[in-house]
């Protein structure tokens, strides 16, 4: 799965100050909240922001391959399969989110698609049939944490801790 990993590390010296309040906290539940937040942030990046976590604009393909725009939808949101496939998986001390769809990684990292059987790739684009010997998809990173995303995760933890201490 192409994804993001969020690991919560504890500073045992500081943790002892609030040990009584947090001893009953299920860390998996806290991480689940962060996973759901990461999914939401990633889906927003695809459907609304349409830029990489570092703020850079996604590159259009020079021939339009892989850059289908349907109405106001963006580069990675033509049919909605990628955005709806984003999910999270948590463990006892970590959570990750990403997509299991087969083409998720090529959008994240970029790459060249070549035919497996035959000399040409055949696909539809803008209602027209296209044949190509290969298609290069530019990297369009959608996974990761922007500065705003990190602050949102930090704020989530602050609110959580404030709730424990009040």
Query: With pLDDT > 90 as the criterion, what percentage of the chain qualifies?
Result: 46
- Rg (alpha carbons) of the chain, rounded to whole number: 20
Residue ranges of domains in the chain: 2-106+142-165
- 43 compared with 66, residue with greater pLDDT: 43
Has residue 17 got a pLDDT over 60? no
Label residue 90 exposed, middle or buried (CB < 10 Å: 0-12, 13-18, 19+): buried
pLDDT band at 44 (very low <50, low <70, confident <90, very high): very high
3-state secondary structure the chain: CEEEEEECCCCHHHHHHHHHHHCCCCHHHHHHHHHHHHHHHHHHHHHHHCECCCCCECCCCCCCCCCCCCCCCCCCCCCCHHHHHCEEEECCCEEEEEECCCCHHHHHHCEEECCCCCCCEEEEECCEEEEECCEEECCCCCCCCCHHHHHHHHHHHHHHHHHHHC
Of 86, 103, 96, nearest to 40 (Cα)? Answer: 86
Using one digit for the tens of pLDDT, what is the confidence trace for 97-156?
A: 999 998 899 999 999 999 999 999 998 877 889 999 999 989 999 999 999 999 999 999
Has residue 65 got a pLDDT over 60? no
Q: What is the mean pLDDT of the chain?
A: 80
Out of 19-23, 31-35, 100-104, 137-141, pick the least confident. 19-23
């Amino acid at each position: 799965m192409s994804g993001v990993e969020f690991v919560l590390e504890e500073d045992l010296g500081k943790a002892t100050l609030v040990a009584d309040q947090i001893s009953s906290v299920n860390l998996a539940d806290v991480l689940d909240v962060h996973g759901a937040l990461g999914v939401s942030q990633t889906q927003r990046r695809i459907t609304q922001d349409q830029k990489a976590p570092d703020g850079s604009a996604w590159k259009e393909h020079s021939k339009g391959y892989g850059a289908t725009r349907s109405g106001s939808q963006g580069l990675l949101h033509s049919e909605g399969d990628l955005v709806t496939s984003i999910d999270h998986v948590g463990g006892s001390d970590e959570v990750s989110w990403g997509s299991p769809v087969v083409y998720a990684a090529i959008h994240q990292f970029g790459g060249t698609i070549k035919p497996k059987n035959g000399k040409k790739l055949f696909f539809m684009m803008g209602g027209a049939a296209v044949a190509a010997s290969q298609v290069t998809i530019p990297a369009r990173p959608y996974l990761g944490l922007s500065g705003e995303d990190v602050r949102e995760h930090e704020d989530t933890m602050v609110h959580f801790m404030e709730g424990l201490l009040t």
